[in-house]
Amino acid sequence: MARPENRGPRGEEALAQLGSLHPQLHGALALVSSCAALLRSPPGTLAAAEHLREWITYARTSGIPELHGFAAKLSHDQDAVVAALTLPYSQGQIEGFITKLKLLKRSMYGRAKLDLLRARALYAGS
């Protein structure tokens, strides 16, 4: 999963050996690396939606059941995936706050009621 420029000669050799073991494995490696490149593309590019559709088509016709299932799940929620690839917004701060809140809730389990949990959550958020 390393970027091609960060692999080095040993990583490239290992990938070549894996690809030569089985032709289906070579196709899987190509599809996974193209999916990683698609996910790493900078947000805001409208071509990502077209690349995603092409990738889903290739994955469904690859004959690899795992990639076929992954492509089916992506196509069910394709609008959300396209929005995540094209829009510059991030939910990182919200996810961090939710993680902190869940940790606080787990640490207080069975010790206090909702009023103390609310006070600690508001204190932690400020």
Quote the mean pLDDT of the chain.
81
Positions in the chain whose pLDDT score sits under 50:
none
> Residue 13, Cα to own-chain centre: how many angstroms?
26
Residue type, position 75, single letter: S
pLDDT digits (tens, 9 = 90+) for 43-77: 766 677 788 888 899 889 888 888 889 999 988 98
What is the dihedral sign for C-alpha 60, 61, 66, 67? Answer: negative
Model confidence pTM above 0.85? no
